[in-house]
Chain A
Amino acid sequence: MADLTYREALRRALDDELARDPDVFLMGEEIGRFEGSYKVTAGLWQKYGPERVRETPISEEGFVGAGIGAAMMGLRPVVEIMTINFILVAMDQIINHAAKIRYMFGGAVGVPMVIRTPGGAGAQLTAQHSQSLEAWFAGCPGMKVVAPASVADAYGMMKTAIRDDDPVLFCENLVMYNVTGTMPDDPDYTVPLGRAAVVREGRDLTLVAHSYTVQRALRVADTMSRDGIEIEVVDLRSLRPLDAETVAESVRKTSRALIAEEGWSTYGVGAELAARIHRLCFDDLDAPVERVGGAEVPMPYSKPLELAALPLESKIEAAARGLLAESGIA
């Protein structure tokens, strides 16, 4: 067991898969000589050369499309979009092509491609560079969307994503890159897609999150446990396929559910989960399912306003306490 950062865990997964499978190659802006904007691919260009760590122009639609073509021809491209905010120009390639090719070709050909891209806010990058758009993609059949929140999951899920035969949107998080955590020693360690994980057990309330919000959720659980309130934190890990059953199992135990996400609540991950929970756990609920998301505004630049717009621990805690108060607890 060794401590690594989230960034290093991703790099190791890419390295291991490049070494394991000659069909794997990386593609993206500045990922070679410059080592990537967030240094996830540092050292890989030197190690594997420009054929397998390919630099692209600033042309997301073009190189995502090139990735789809390569994947259809049998390669396993891992395409980096510098941040999820830049993915929008490639939306047609992803939604209309990557997600639909297996279906429209009658299963004869698939798109075993990974698009890795960080999202998230908190560094005063303002409205166009602070978004969490993963829920948009998670609503599309044909896509897989994952958003690991731990070092071990970043490593294990990246390997699984690369080996998956369908397009996977791999959502990283800018704030997570420097988070350290324990890496399993097992070089064959993988984490299946589509499985949520209970990362902290509790009896009073189920708090569901993904990506960096899981870290916030765990801190809220720590704080509230000092008051004797035990929050169960479920890390979704995958948004599509969505493991609603693991969430439901937890809610059946706690009778209360709160979903936190950095993206907007409206039509968000919490909206989808709330619907699933109401169906799966209707008779187990002691209070309505609650959601906390980012403020429904373009992210402001001003630091105080940015903080006010983010679903910080204080907001999650307030929502949790509100639910418990509705249940006659605390």
Chain B
Amino acid sequence: MSEELVMPRLSDTMEEGTIGRWLVHEGDAFAAGDVLAEIETDKATMEFQAYDAGTVLRILVGDGETVALGAPIAIVGAEGETADEAASAGNGATIQPPQEEAAAEPEPEPKAAAAEPEPKAAPARKPSKSSSKAKAAAGNGSRATAALRVSPIARRMADEAGIDLAAMAGRGSGPEGRVVKADVERLISSGELTRPAAADAPPATESAPAEGEIRELTPMLKAVATRMTQSKQTVPHFYVESEIDMTRAMQLRAELNSGLADSGDKISVNDLIVRASALALIQHPQAHRSYVDGKHVYHTHANVGIAVALDDGLIVPVLNEADTKPVREISRETRDLAGRARAGKLKQREIEGATFSVSNLGMFDVANFEAIINPPESAIIAVGATVDRPVVVDGEIVVRKIMRVTLSCDHRACSGADGAKLLLTIKQLLQSPSLLLV
């Protein structure tokens, strides 16, 4: 039975999508989990995966072409079928986006009419066993044989433990392979499957690269490349730099952490920087606005993006309304976001809407660096390592903990003085760190 593939909704705001390029040709067989095409949304380029095996009968929308959400883009079916048969059998929703989001919000069951594959399907329709990602996708409320079924408490426990259950699709102890509490308990005690979804990266990156080997960028790396190029080419950056005496901030942090020792919470230097930045941004609206299409868009809350390094690449989850959150809350949320960022479990909405970003390479003993603004944010702060340095205080040479920071600003959004004032406030807050607690 042939089916239409339609332009899927890959971001909340997309109304149309562009076929970046097809990775399959008419007549090609594909397995569940294979990437059929790359689709450019308003946000990023995303992989378009099959969750059932099949054969491409006809491609309706070519590379570089744009169609509305839900419009047919290809007809797939069994080998030897013709696309004409498909016209009458058209139905949608056979493809899942690669995001994990849907796992938390299962889609409704497909209509019965779409639910029965042709019993005499060609061999190419056998489900692939190789791709756990495909199984995860198939679990999103679908008809595939290896659907990921999870009891509510098992799902909750797995979420809390940061376990990606995708590989457990069809392997749970419950009926039809439902993953149940006992399975998750076993996984937790065995430590199995707690590795983040980085393991799901394309096979090409798993082996050491050979000399001159050419590899495609992952969609994430592609998005980084596109945005950073766009930023450096179109956003006039200027930089202001400062040295911040972190001695008192480090004392405060030590004091907080000894008080929180039993709570499981631990405040990091970065948490204090996020808090200081958020408070400072609210005080300096001229440094906290986006330049968009010749206009200034002001922000009343500081949504702080926190750059998280991945094995290959980076992602910037957003801590929303950081100006309203106490340090401990910032710390908790950041830890959660960073953990899920590394596990590939962030939702689209968690990487959108930042008004400012913090990029901290202090852990790599970097003295100082300059970060590229992530538009439409107006600024980003680059944080170096905190080191013991001799400085002059009241005419005396003393040893203090010094951290160098560089603020990159969009000159269309703010002037040099605006950026300097913002940085000064951040510095003052961090040097009188009790202000971060009020």
Nearest neighbor of A255 in chain B, beta-carbon distance: B153
A287 to B173, CA, bound (A): 11
A279-305: contact bitstring with B at CB < 8 Å (1 yes, 0 no)? 000111111000000000000000000
Distance from A202 Cβ to chain B, minimum over Cβ atoms (Å): 15
Q: Is A108 an interface residue (CB 8 A)?
A: no
Q: Is B383 an interface residue (CB 8 A)?
A: no
Q: Is B38 an interface residue (CB 8 A)?
A: no
Nearest neighbor of A282 in chain B, beta-carbon distance: B152
Contact of A328 among B155, B156, B174 (CB under 8 A): B174
Q: Is B15 an interface residue (CB 8 A)?
A: no
Q: Is A21 an interface residue (CB 8 A)?
A: no
B401-432: contact bitstring with A at CB < 8 Å (1 yes, 0 no)? 00000000000000000000000000000000
In the complex, which residues of chain B have a beta carbon less than 8 angstroms from the beta carbon of A329? 182
Q: Is A245 an interface residue (CB 8 A)?
A: no
Assess whether B174 is in contact with A287, with CB atoms less than 8 Å apart: yes
Near A by CB (< 8 A), chain B positions 158-187 give 172-175, 178, 180-183
User: How many interface residues does chain B have, given as a range?
Assistant: 10 to 19
Contact of B180 among A282, A283, A284, A286 (CB under 8 A): A286
Q: Is B154 an interface residue (CB 8 A)?
A: yes
Nearest neighbor of B178 in chain A, beta-carbon distance: A326
A303 to B172, CA, bound (A): 42
B169-207: contact bitstring with A at CB < 8 Å (1 yes, 0 no)? 000111100101111000000000000000000000000
A327 to B153, CA, bound (A): 11
Assess whether A327 is in contact with B182, with CB atoms less than 8 Å apart: yes
In the complex, which residues of chain A have a beta carbon less than 8 angstroms from the beta carbon of B181? 255, 286, 327-328
Chain A residues with a Cβ closer than 8 Å to the other chain, count: 11
A304 to B173, CA, bound (A): 36
Assess whether A328 is in contact with B173, with CB atoms less than 8 Å apart: yes
A242-282: contact bitstring with B at CB < 8 Å (1 yes, 0 no)? 00000000000001000000000000000000000000001
Known A328-B180, A328-B182: A284·B153 in contact at CB below 8 Å:
yes
In the complex, which residues of chain B have a beta carbon less than 8 angstroms from the beta carbon of A328? 172-174, 180-183
Distance from B136 Cβ to chain A, minimum over Cβ atoms (Å): 20
Nearest neighbor of A287 in chain B, beta-carbon distance: B151
A329 to B182, CA, bound (A): 7
A326 to B183, CA, bound (A): 11
Interface of B is mostly: helix
Distance from A301 Cβ to chain B, minimum over Cβ atoms (Å): 38
A326 to B181, CA, bound (A): 10
Distance from B8 Cβ to chain A, minimum over Cβ atoms (Å): 28
Contact of B174 among A283, A284, A326 (CB under 8 A): A326
A31-74: contact bitstring with B at CB < 8 Å (1 yes, 0 no)? 00000000000000000000000000000000000000000000
Assess whether A327 is in contact with B173, with CB atoms less than 8 Å apart: yes
Assess whether B152 is in contact with A285, with CB atoms less than 8 Å apart: yes
A328 to B154, CA, bound (A): 12
A149-164: contact bitstring with B at CB < 8 Å (1 yes, 0 no)? 0000000000000000
A190 to B102, CA, bound (A): 53
Assess whether A283 is in contact with B175, with CB atoms less than 8 Å apart: no
Known A326-B174, A328-B173, A328-B174: A287·B180 in contact at CB below 8 Å:
yes
A287 to B174, CA, bound (A): 8
A329 to B173, CA, bound (A): 8
Assess whether A327 is in contact with B152, with CB atoms less than 8 Å apart: no
A282 to B173, CA, bound (A): 20
Assess whether B153 is in contact with A285, with CB atoms less than 8 Å apart: yes
A15-43: contact bitstring with B at CB < 8 Å (1 yes, 0 no)? 00000000000000000000000000000
Assess whether A327 is in contact with B156, with CB atoms less than 8 Å apart: no
Assess whether A283 is in contact with B172, with CB atoms less than 8 Å apart: no
Nearest neighbor of B174 in chain A, beta-carbon distance: A326
Assess whether A283 is in contact with B156, with CB atoms less than 8 Å apart: yes
Distance from A206 Cβ to chain B, minimum over Cβ atoms (Å): 13
Nearest neighbor of B185 in chain A, beta-carbon distance: A328
Known A285-B151, A286-B151, A287-B174: A326·B180 in contact at CB below 8 Å:
yes
Distance from A286 Cβ to chain B, minimum over Cβ atoms (Å): 4
Nearest neighbor of B151 in chain A, beta-carbon distance: A286
Assess whether A286 is in contact with B156, with CB atoms less than 8 Å apart: no
A255 to B180, CA, bound (A): 10
Nearest neighbor of A251 in chain B, beta-carbon distance: B153
Contact of A283 among B153, B178, B182, B183 (CB under 8 A): B153
Assess whether A326 is in contact with B153, with CB atoms less than 8 Å apart: no
A282 to B175, CA, bound (A): 18
In the complex, which residues of chain A have a beta carbon less than 8 angstroms from the beta carbon of B154? 286
Distance from A320 Cβ to chain B, minimum over Cβ atoms (Å): 15
Distance from A284 Cβ to chain B, minimum over Cβ atoms (Å): 5
A285 to B153, CA, bound (A): 5
In the complex, which residues of chain A have a beta carbon less than 8 angstroms from the beta carbon of B174? 287, 326-328
A63-105: contact bitstring with B at CB < 8 Å (1 yes, 0 no)? 0000000000000000000000000000000000000000000
Distance from A205 Cβ to chain B, minimum over Cβ atoms (Å): 12
Nearest neighbor of A285 in chain B, beta-carbon distance: B152
A282 to B183, CA, bound (A): 18
Assess whether B152 is in contact with A283, with CB atoms less than 8 Å apart: yes
In the complex, which residues of chain B have a beta carbon less than 8 angstroms from the beta carbon of A287? 151, 174, 180
A165 to B385, CA, bound (A): 74
In the complex, which residues of chain B have a beta carbon less than 8 angstroms from the beta carbon of A286? 151-154, 180-182
7 contacts between A and B (CB under 8 A): A282-B152, A284-B152, A285-B153, A286-B151, A326-B175, A328-B174, A328-B180
The 4 A-B pairs with the shortest beta carbon distances in the complex, nearest first, are A328-B173, A328-B182, A286-B181, A286-B151
